[in-house]
Structure 1
Amino acid sequence: MEKKVQTNRWGSRKKIIISSVTLILLIAIIIFFLSGLPFGRVVYVTTNGSGDFNCDGVDDQVEINKALAYVAENPLYTTVHLKGNATYIISDSILIGSNTVLEGDSTAVIKLEDKSDWPEYKPIITQMDSSGNHDITIRGFEIDGNHDGNSEKKRGAGYHNLIHLLDSENIQVHGLYMHDSHGDGLKVTRCSNIQFYNNKVYRLGHDALYVIYSSNVEAWDNRITCRTNSGLRVYNSNHVKFYNNTINSEGEGGAGIQVQKDGSSFIMDDIEIFNNLLYETNAAGIWITGYGSKYSKDTAKDIYIHNNRFYKAGTNQGADWAGGITLNGFQNTLIENNLFDGCYGAAIAHKRVMAFSAPESGYTTIVKNNIIINTQPSRTAGKGYAILNKLNNTHSFILENNCLSNNAAGNYLYANSTSDVNVDKGHVEQVANNESMKKEFPWSEALSAGPQ
């Protein structure tokens, strides 16, 4: 009897062992099979007949959209790659879906057709789903907005934005050459987790990056030449970092960086701007404005501007908002360790620009440990002050330990300091060219501000 029980137990154990081994082998076979599948595969688009989808130079968005739709419908594929050396002429928008990379060789060009009859706000690239997409990457190629081929359109009026995404998240746009459009480079509306970096942006019809009602935004290592409006702009958005960018103008455009709060509907209390070079901008290097209906100062505060270099910012003699930094309507803005050299009108000014009037009063801006030198007169923006307060009834400056020299109109108008230091004309330039002097210079951090 005991022997029979032992035999039955062994039989049960044997079945369990065989079942376990079989299950393990089955799992191993499945894993091996799946690992051999081409996850993350690339779909190629060309103009020479060698791609998975092939364009002919007419309505090329048709083939590009077929490739993007294929990736969206087949999760083992992630990427559409535009092969160069080629120009893809489009007559309708390109539509990108979730979990998708649209990339290309640096010699691949997406170009808007001549004499396009597109309506306002129709972009060159946008999302597939009107309610929003996620995890979108656009990188590596050139987008030509063909401004001159559509010269009948008005710049800055919503025509031909290069990329516009709405209600989307996890967006990366990098390594692009974006140029000659009537509208924005990348425009995002009600989006989150946006990264815009390592792009070259030249003479667009509006902003290079325009962020509206969005959050968690970073822009870095971009080279931007403005034509019609700003380089980097945020409107009613928060949790923003702009750094390591180089922004200029060629006699046209607005501010290098623009921060804009309209009314009480959105909190803006986490914005940092640092280590940028803003030179020869048409208007202010940085323009900050809060306006509209009454809002709590807790919803417009604590912008941190540091370690930037402003060189000859505000070249337009007819722009009363020219200069290094022009601001109103934000509380407790901290401006420190920046270098302002040769700005027009004023290096830092409280001003109302156009109709952008801040509600109520009691706004304070802290300015400390900056170098402000060689400020130049402007016909409309000021006589060349280091610090200019044209809103002295509603706004005030706290000035601490700034290094001042050779500012055409003097150091202050409706502002004062007991701790700022005046140095001789040319002293800062002398220190900058002498390593031993630089080490002992109290404002050495500001002296090395901006991309080197």
Structure 2
Amino acid sequence: MNENHWIYRQGEKKKKGILILILVVLVASVIIALSTAHAETTVYVNTDGSGDFNCDGTDDQVEINKALEYVAENPEFTTVHLNGPNTYIISDSIFIGSNTILEGDPTAVIKLENNAGWPLEKPLITQKDSSGSQNITVRGFEIDGNHDGNKEKSRGKGYYNLIHFLNCKDIRVYNMYMHDSHGDGLKVVEGSDIKFYNNTVYKLGHDALYIIYCSNIEAWNNKITCRTNSGLRIYNGNHVKFYNNIINSEGEGGAGIEIQKTGPSTVMDDIEIYNNLLYETNTAGIWITGYGSAYSKDSAKDVYIHNNKFYKTGINPSADWSGGVVLNGFYDTLIENNIFDGCYGAAIAHKQVDDEFLSPGSGYTTIARNNIIINTRSSPAAGKGYAFYNKLKDTHSFILQNNCLSNNAGGNYMHASSTSDTEVDPALIEHLDGNGSSVLQNLPCAEAIKAGPQELPYEIDDGIDIGQEKSLESDIKRAISDVVRFIKRVLLSFTLEESDNEDFKIALPSVISDNRLKEGSSNTTFRETEYIDVGERSDGWKYRDVILFELSQLNETDEIEKATLYLFWYYPDETRPEDTIIEVYRPEKWCEEHVSWDARETGTPWHNPGGDWYDKNEVSQGNTPYATITFNGSTLPDNRYYELDVTELVQEYASGKYENTGFLIKARAEDSNYIAFYSSEWQNKSQRPKLIIEYTSE
């Protein structure tokens, strides 16, 4: 490097350094100003004596309610903030008034006490005024329903709903983590203008969102795992939008989304469900039902379901209402541009779940067009695996247009028909994407390939919502977010740029996919669970994982100095009879959409169930791993990353010696030594798997 070039580079670095310093000072000034303004309207609750109100871990609702009462009595205050990391144990309800924000740090937890013994319909959080309230916000913290500490009560009966409002309007619940309850997450009766978004909801005792006799409802960007009933549910409500949600179950629960109408008293003619991913739901992905006393056609019509992805919905073999979309009692439902892949029983079905849900009248029509329906599976109770199944042929009918159908186990139609649907080659569907060739785009179902959640419209890393707030403060926050992202890019350019050590660089490749391989569900693909696991559980089943990182940014001429795989250990919180020795191998090529314990791709089984691999000596199913680490059976998770040196394997991938097929991770001796790590689907980005590569370029 000549002297002039060196001087120029040093000058450029100095300029960038000054620019970053100016930007940091600017951002800090704005943040301080916002924080000061926020503090002037906020009352703080803590447990260490530093709060305006301080809790002691017993009957903590007393101090929280005092804080909320103080805000209600002093209009210059708007917000009660729960400081973390703290767990606030409550023995009675928390009451929130109009024009009030109840917020908290992500590490602040409201938890129901053990053996609470509350009566039916007594919630953890509710409104102060029994006649109704307005402009209520709940955001940012965790609610633990403590199901296992209150097992004397049954789930789904109305006990211990987490949040319940009656006759309230302008409700916002967002950025919450709600889990392990007996009842609903958010239940609203006779309300309006309800927004439920950016929440993670795990294994509640009823619905994540249950809306009864309400209007103007939106739910988006929620991640919901059902246990007892549905993810999102509307009962006699209207003007509804559900979009960009991810909903599944883990072997329990009902439908992912449930739409109910009963009797003539309400109109339901403006309901839109789109861009959602519904996978492995216990019963239907979406269940729509109208029943009870006779009602007019105009009062139950025009539900619009589009651009959703249904994957293996209806896993319960004994549920008649398993499938993709199961419906009855609604007129002119339009289902278009969706993907149904591997649904059980039928992709789209007219069914009456039981005698209670008998639809009055006849002439109900469902229009299904431009959908991709593939790989529908047989279910003992729900059907033989049809694309379309009309079990109510005397009162309901389908209009089917330009659907693309393939590999449906029971055939394409039962009591239904079409003259314009297309039987397509499965390989053609797999290669279709939003930027596909004109030949592929000419398929009638091409638009459906865009189905599923779209890119989130807010910066998760910065914790900033820019989707709804229109105030000056939110505008400033958006500007800060833009500046922060710019600084990240500038800093990254420094990281990837030549340093004084010349060509030394660091790469942090993204995870393409991490999949669980579960012996006990040997034909099931586990791509979107929030954890990966290895070893053997007490039930005798074994668990392994495959992880694939994007390495295309590396060139064959790059010299890999070091590559480290980081896994965040979190489970189980108890000792184990045996040590767990983790090993990393080079797997055979596998498909992230279809890999399972038995198969690496649809129609291509592993030669050895549980995965085919090579060790560092190139021996098939060998026992000399590329990397290893031991977790002692007497050691408990300590909430940190553990490192595996995978330098040699990454070198082989980067050099082109082998195609990048990722890592196969297993326990050496799979015997009573089960442990689990967070996966790339885990909500906390700072605890997901990561690969850090140090390298030099010529």
Alignment of 1:386-401 (within 5 A): 386-401=387-402
Deviation at 1:297, TM superposition (A): 1.0
Between 338-347 and 37-46, report the one with greater CA deviation: 37-46
Deviation at 1:342, TM superposition (A): 0.3
CA distance in 2, matches of 1:354, 1:427: 39
Alignment deviations for residues 244-264 of structure 1 (CA, whole Å, 9 cap, x no partner): 000000000000000000111
RMSD, matched Cα: 1.5
Task: Describe the shift of the 1:428–1:37 C-alpha distance in structure 2 as closer, same or farther (beyond 3 A).
Answer: closer
Could you tell me which residue of structure 1 aligns to residue 84 of structure 2? 84
Alignment of 1:28-427 (within 5 A): 41-355=41-355, 356-427=357-428
Give the counterpart letter for 1:370 in structure 2. N
8 Å CA contact 2:428–2:440 kept in 1: the answer is no
Could you tell me which residue of structure 2 aligns to residue 450 of structure 1? 452
Between 331-340 and 429-438, report the one with greater CA deviation: 429-438
Task: Describe the shift of the 1:433–1:166 C-alpha distance in structure 2 as closer, same or farther (beyond 3 A).
Answer: closer
CA distance in 2, matches of 1:174, 1:372: 34
8 Å CA contact 1:323–1:347 kept in 2: the answer is yes
Aligned residue-pair number: 417
8 Å CA contact 1:275–1:449 kept in 2: the answer is yes
Deviation at 1:448, TM superposition (A): 1.7
Deviation at 1:328, TM superposition (A): 0.1
Deviation at 1:432, TM superposition (A): 4.8
Q: State, as a whole percentage, how many aligned pairs show the same letter.
A: 71
CA distance in 1, matches of 2:38, 2:192: 30
Deviation at 1:152, TM superposition (A): 1.1
For the residue of structure 2 that corresponds to 1:149, the secondary structure is helix
Alignment deviations for residues 201-228 of structure 1 (CA, whole Å, 9 cap, x no partner): 0000000000000000000000000000
Alignment deviations for residues 10-34 of structure 1 (CA, whole Å, 9 cap, x no partner): xxxxxxxxxxxxxxxxxxxxxxxxx
Deviation at 1:433, TM superposition (A): 10
Give the counterpart letter for 1:360 in structure 2. G
CA distance in 2, matches of 1:434, 1:232: 32
CA distance in 2, matches of 1:121, 1:312: 34
Deviation at 1:451, TM superposition (A): 1.5
Give the counterpart letter for 1:376 in structure 2. R
Deviation at 1:435, TM superposition (A): 3.9
8 Å CA contact 1:40–1:78 kept in 2: the answer is no
Give the counterpart letter for 2:205 in structure 1. G
Give the counterpart letter for 1:351 in structure 2. K
CA distance in 1, matches of 2:433, 2:249: 26
8 Å CA contact 2:368–2:398 kept in 1: the answer is yes
Could you tell me which residue of structure 1 aligns to residue 657 of structure 2? none
Structure 1's unaligned 5+ residue stretches are: 1-35
CA distance in 2, matches of 1:325, 1:93: 38
Deviation at 1:323, TM superposition (A): 0.2
Give the counterpart letter for 2:260 in structure 1. Q
Give the counterpart letter for 1:254 in structure 2. G
Task: Describe the shift of the 1:39–1:89 C-alpha distance in structure 2 as closer, same or farther (beyond 3 A).
Answer: closer
8 Å CA contact 2:432–2:446 kept in 1: the answer is no
8 Å CA contact 2:243–2:453 kept in 1: the answer is no
Deviation at 1:111, TM superposition (A): 0.0
8 Å CA contact 1:83–1:104 kept in 2: the answer is yes
Deviation at 1:38, TM superposition (A): 8.7
Give the counterpart letter for 2:54 in structure 1. N
8 Å CA contact 1:386–1:407 kept in 2: the answer is yes
What's the TM-score, normalizing by structure 1? 0.90
Give the counterpart letter for 1:448 in structure 2. K
For the residue of structure 1 that corresponds to 2:62, the secondary structure is helix
Give the counterpart letter for 1:368 in structure 2. R
Could you tell me which residue of structure 1 aligns to residue 484 of structure 2? none
CA distance in 2, matches of 1:149, 1:93: 17
CA distance in 1, matches of 2:331, 2:424: 30
CA distance in 2, matches of 1:432, 1:379: 34
CA distance in 2, matches of 1:47, 1:79: 18
Deviation at 1:431, TM superposition (A): 3.0
8 Å CA contact 2:327–2:350 kept in 1: the answer is yes
For the residue of structure 2 that corresponds to 1:361, the secondary structure is coil
For the residue of structure 1 that corresponds to 2:284, the secondary structure is coil
Deviation at 1:420, TM superposition (A): 0.3
Deviation at 1:428, TM superposition (A): 1.1
CA distance in 2, matches of 1:157, 1:449: 35
CA distance in 2, matches of 1:310, 1:39: 45
8 Å CA contact 1:431–1:441 kept in 2: the answer is no
For the residue of structure 2 that corresponds to 1:326, the secondary structure is strand
What's the TM-score, normalizing by structure 2? 0.59
CA distance in 2, matches of 1:302, 1:430: 33
Deviation at 1:378, TM superposition (A): 0.2
Deviation at 1:39, TM superposition (A): 9.5
8 Å CA contact 2:324–2:343 kept in 1: the answer is yes
8 Å CA contact 1:127–1:133 kept in 2: the answer is yes
Task: Describe the shift of the 1:420–1:80 C-alpha distance in structure 2 as closer, same or farther (beyond 3 A).
Answer: same
Alignment deviations for residues 126-176 of structure 1 (CA, whole Å, 9 cap, x no partner): 000000000000000000000000011100000000000000000000000
Task: Describe the shift of the 1:332–1:382 C-alpha distance in structure 2 as closer, same or farther (beyond 3 A).
Answer: same
Between 359-368 and 442-451, report the one with greater CA deviation: 442-451
